[in-house]
Amino acid sequence: MDLKRLNRALSVEAESGFGDLQGREQTFSQFFCGVFGQDPPADWLLDGDDRRKWQELGSRYTLYPELDLPERQHLVAETRRWLDQIRRQQEPPPPARPAPLPKPNGLSLEQPLQFLKGIGPKSAEKLAQLGLLTVRDALYYFPRDHVNYSEQVLIRQAKVGETVTLVGTIKSCTCFTSPKNKALTIFNLKMADSSGTMTLSRFYNGRQFTQRGWQESIQRQYPKGARVAASGLVKRSKFGLTLDNPQIEVLSPDLPEESPVHGRGGDPVLRSLKIGKILPIYPLTEGITADLVRKAVQLALPAVALIGDPLPQDIKRTLQLLDLPVALQQIHFPDTAEHLAQARRRLVFDEFFYLQLGLLQRRQRYREQAQAVPRYQPIQGELVDRFYQLLPFQLTAAQQRVISEILADLRDPLPMNRLVQGDVGSGKTVVAVVALLAAIQSGWQTALMAPTEVLAEQHYRKLVDWFSQLHLPVELLTGSTPAAKRRQILRQLQTGELPLVVGTHALIQPAVQFRNLGLVIIDEQHRFGVEQRAALQQKGDHPDVLTMTATPIPRTLTLALHGDLDVSQIDELPPGRKPVHTVVVRPGDRLQVVRLMEREIAQGRQVYVVLPLIEESEKLDLKSAIEEHQRLQEKVFPQFKVGLLHGRMSSNDKDAVIQAFRQRELDILVSTTVVEVGVDVPNASVMVIEHAERFGLSQLHQLRGRVGRGSEQSYCLLMTGSKGEDALRRLKVLEQSHDGFFIAEMDLRFRGPGEVMGTRQSGLPDFALASLMDDQEVLELARQAAEQLIAADPHLTQYPELQAVLKTKVSYTNRLH
C-alpha cells in the first residue's frame, strides 16, 4: 500500500470540504473502507496496537457518510496523524554529516607504510606488490566496490539477497568436527532478538581446526547470554534463513540495548572494521589479504587532513561537491551509503574534470601556436558549385549541416580540428570532397590518408570519377606505387601542380614534401598511431585537419577520447536505401543459410562469409578462414567459385582477390575482418558472420555495412552456437536496429569502453572510479565546468594549484594526439 496515495486522498477530501468526494469509480469513504478492509501491508511491520488501530479505522470509515462535519474532520485528521507516524517508523533517520576528519597524528603523505604501527617490513613488502609504498598511495588506492553491513534489521525483517546486520543474544554455540568429513570443523551459533531466532554457521577446512582444544576456545569466545552483532548476505538454507559467511563480534557489555551497532561517527565499544559498517572491497593479488589492505588504509586515513583541494570553491558550491579530503575519507570508510555516493561523485568529477581540462588546454595551445591567417576568406569559386551539379542526388539535411560546419571552420583564421562521425553509407565521402574542393579553389594542396591500400584505392577511384569531370588531377600513393610513378607524384607535390594526393602511410615518408599543404583528411583515424597522424599534419604549416570515422562513437567516449576536437555527426542515411534484413541464426538452421546463399548466387549476386580467426585456435575452438574456405569450395559449393581474403596476405594478393570479387569472378568471398572497412561491392547481397558472439556490436554493424549497397534486398546472418543469454541479447540488438549510434551506445553498455575501443591504441585514460557508462551526467558537468574555466582563464594563471595537478598527472592526450 502506498502511503503517499493514502495521504493524497485524505488531503483532497479535506480540501473539498469533507463532502465524501465522489471519484471516478467510488466515493472517498468507499475507497478507505476498501483499504482498511484488507490486511495491512507486511512491510509496514505493525505491532499489536497498530494492527488494532488499523481495524478500528476500517470500522469507523464504514460510518463516514453518516458522520457530521466535525466528526469527519476529526477522523481524517486522526488518520493522517497515524499514517504519518507509520511513515516515520519506516523512514531511515536523516543522514548525518560526514564524520570530522581525524588528526594527522604526526603522519606525512610520503611516509613509507612499513613505519605505520602494525604494518612492519613484511606486510609493507606485500603491499608494495599492489603499488602501495607510501601513505599517499594508500589514500588513493580506491575500493573497487563496497559491501553495506550498515543496514541493521530485526531477524524477522531479514530478506534473502539483502546484506544486513543483526544484533541479538547468544542462545547457544557449538563447534565440532563433521561426522562425515574428519577434516571439516563446523561452527554453529544460535542468536535471538525480540522478533525471532537465527542459526549462523561457519566452516573451517583443515586438520588444525579439528583439535578439541581449538574448538573449545572458539566456543568460549561466544558465551551464552552475551550480546552479539552479525553481518552478512541473507540466504536460505535447509534450516531456514541464515547469513552467508557471517562476520560476527561479541558486543561490549556497556553498549546500550537499544543502541545501533554503528551510530553517528561510529560506536567506540565496537572495535571491528566490518560489523555494522560499509566495508570497502579493494583490488587484491595473490598472497595479499583484504584485511591487510584495509588495515593499511585505516592507519593512513588521518593523513587526508594534509591533502589540499585545488578545485575552485565556486565549482564545489554550484555542483554541491564534497571537499577532497572528506571525499577521500568517505570513499574508504563511509559513514553512510549517502556519504559514499557523495564521495564517489566528487572523485569521479575530479577524474573527468582534469581530463577535460587537459584536452581543452591542449586545443588552446594548438590554436595559439597556429598562425592566425585567414587563408580561406572567402570560400568562393566554381569548383564546389560545379561538384554539386555533378551529383545525381540531393544531399541529406545532415550532410548539408556538417558541410556548413566545415566551411565555417575553413573561414575561421584558426586551423580546423574536426571529427566527422557517420554511419555506414551516410555519405561522408561527399562531405570530404566538398572540403577538399573548398581548399583547392582557395589555392591550397590537400591530402587524404586511409589506413589500408584497399580503402585508399576505393577513395581514389571515387575521387577520380568526380575530379576528372572537374578537370583536376588526383594521384594515389601507396607502398605498391611503382618507383617511376612515385617520383612523378613527389615532384608534382613539391611544385604544387598536384592539388590532391590520396594514400596510405606512404604519405608520411620523409621524401613526401608539399609546396603548400592546407587541408589534411584522415579516414578511419583511430586506425593510425599518434605519430603517424602528427607526421602528416607536419607536412604543412598548421593545416586544417578533418578526421573521419565510420564507427559511430557514443558521446561519452567522444568526450573522453576527442575532447579537444570539434565533432560533427552525419546522423541521417540517404533516402531509398533498403535496411539489411538481419537474423541471428543457430547451428540447426545452417541448411537454410546454404539455401539462401544458393538462391542469391543463382540470381547473379554474391556472398561474404566472415570468420574471426585466420588459423585454428585450440583455446577458442573457432573455425579458421583457411579451413572454412576449403570446406565451402570442396564440400558445400563445388559449383561456385570461392575466394579467400585475410590479413596475412600480401597487399598485391589482397588487391587481386578483391578485384576478382568486384568483377564477379568470385561468387563467395571467405574473409576475416579485413572486409570491415573499404571493400565496396554493390552486387554483394549476403553477409554470413560465423561466431558472431565473438565480435563487438559496432564491428558487426560495420561488417553488415558491406552489403545493402545496391538496390536489391540484402541479408546479414549472425551465426552463433552460444547459449549464453547475454550473447544472444547483444546480437538481438542488430536484429532490431540499424542506427549505428544506438548500436554503439549498446555496445558500450554491454562490453565497456576498453573492449569497444580495443586495448592496444584506444587512448582511453585509466579511470580509478569513473565509468563512461554510468557517470555520463558527471562527465557532462565536468566538461561544462572545464569549458567555463578555460574561457575565463585560458592559462589558469589564477589557479596555480590546478596547473600543478595537471602537470603531475600523466596526460593521456600526449599518447592519443
Cis, bond preceding 415 (omega within 30 deg of 0): no
Q: What is the pLDDT of residue 764?
A: 57
With H, G, I as helix, E, B as strand and everything else as coil, classify residue 652.
Answer: helix
Which amino acid is it at 548?
A: M
pLDDT tens readout for residues 454-491: 788 889 988 999 999 999 999 999 988 999 999 999 99
What's the average model confidence in pLDDT over 800-812?
74
Band the pLDDT of 752: cuts 50, 70, 90.
low
Nearest CA to 432 out of 422, 442, 317 is that of 422
* Res. 644: pLDDT tops 60: yes
Percent of the chain with pLDDT over 70: 86
DSSP state, residue 476: E
pLDDT at 762: 46
Distances, alpha carbon 208 to alpha carbons 182, 183, 697, in Å: 11, 8, 53
CB atoms within 10 A of CB 581: 14
Phi, psi (degrees; rounded to nearest 5) at 60 = -70, -30
The residue ranking higher by pLDDT, 350 or 50, is: 350
The mean pLDDT of 64-85, rounded to a whole number, is: 85
In which band, very low, low, confident or very high, does the pLDDT at 632 lie, cut at 50, 70 and 90?
A: very high
Q: Which band of pLDDT confidence, cut at 50, 70 and 90, is reported for residue 528?
A: low
Instruction: Please list, in sequence order, all residues whose beta carbon lies within 8 angstroms of the beta carbon of residue 629, skipping any fewer than 6 positions away.
Output: 642, 643, 644, 670
Longest CA span, the chain: 108
CA distance 535 to 252: 70
Mean pLDDT over 156-163 rounds to: 90
Q: Is the pTM of this model over 0.85?
A: no
CB contact set of 223 (below 8 Å; sequence gap of 6+): 170, 173, 250
Asked if pLDDT for residue 264 goes beyond 60, the answer is no
- For residue 757, pLDDT beyond 60: no
Q: What is the mean pLDDT of residues 644-649?
A: 81
Residues 80-112: pLDDT tens digits? 888 877 876 766 554 455 767 777 778 899 999
- Please, are residues 582 and 704 in contact by the beta-carbon 8 Å criterion? yes
382-570 has the same fold as 146-281: no
Grid cell of 310 as nine digits: 585545488
**Is pLDDT larger for residue 259 or for residue 649?**
649
pLDDT at 753: 60
pLDDT on residue 555:
65
Of 625, 618, 617, the residue nearest 648 (C-alpha): 625
The total number of residues written for the chain in this structure: 817
The pLDDT, as a whole number, for residue 86 is 80
CA distance 57 to 33: 9
pLDDT per residue over 412-439, tens digit each?
878 888 889 887 778 888 999 999 999 9
Q: Grid coordinates in use for 653?
A: 594478393
Least confident of 163-172, 238-247, 529-538, 585-594: 529-538
CA distance 814 to 794: 19
Cβ pair 134, 112 in contact under 8 A: yes
Judge whether residue 263 has pLDDT over 60. Answer: no
Report pLDDT digits (tens) over 225-236: 988 888 889 999
pLDDT at position 499 over 50: yes
Question: Does the pLDDT at position 799 exceed 60?
Answer: yes
Per-residue pLDDT, 365: 78
The average confidence (pLDDT) of the chain is: 83
Confidence of residue 272 (pLDDT cuts 50, 70, 90): low
d(CA 184, CA 166): 27
Pick from 272, 265, 224: nearest CA to 248: 272
- Write down the pLDDT at residue 254: 45
| CATH code of the domain occupying 382-570 | 3.40.50.300
Q: Which three cell numbers stand for residue 698?
A: 559496432
pLDDT at position 300 over 90: yes
Query: Model confidence at 405, in pLDDT bands (50, 70, 90)?
Result: very high
Mean pLDDT score, 795-802: 90
Q: Where are the domains of the chain?
A: 3-90, 146-281, 382-570, 581-737
Closest alpha carbon to 545 in 433, 396, 415, 707: 415
Who's near 375: CB < 8 A, 6+ residues apart?
413, 442, 444, 518
Residues 116-125 pLDDT 10s: 988 989 999 9
- 581-737, CATH topology level: Rossmann fold (3.40.50)
Q: Give buried/exposed letters for 777-801 (b at 16+ CB in 10 A, else e).
A: ebbebbbebbeebbeeeeebeebee
**For residue 253, which amino acid is it?**
P
How far is residue 381's CA from residue 379's CA, in Å, rounded to a whole number? Answer: 7
Q: Look at residue 243 in the predicted model and tell me its pLDDT.
A: 94
Percent of the chain with pLDDT over 90: 35
Angle of CA points 141, 146, 149, to nearest 5°? 135
Which CATH architecture fits 146-281? Beta Barrel (2.40)
Region 245-251: mean pLDDT is: 82
For the residues 635-649, what does the mean pLDDT come to?
A: 88
**440 burial via Cβ count (<10 Å: 0-12, 13-18, 19+):** buried
Alpha-carbon span 633 to 631, nearest angstrom: 6
Please give the pLDDT value at position 751: 66
User: pLDDT tier at 815 (50, 70, 90 boundaries)?
Assistant: very low
Q: Is the pLDDT of residue 178 over 80?
A: yes
Q: What is the mean pLDDT of residues 240-260?
A: 70
50-59, 164-173, 196-205, 299-308: least confident range: 50-59
CA–CA separation, 273 vs 280, rounded Å? Answer: 10
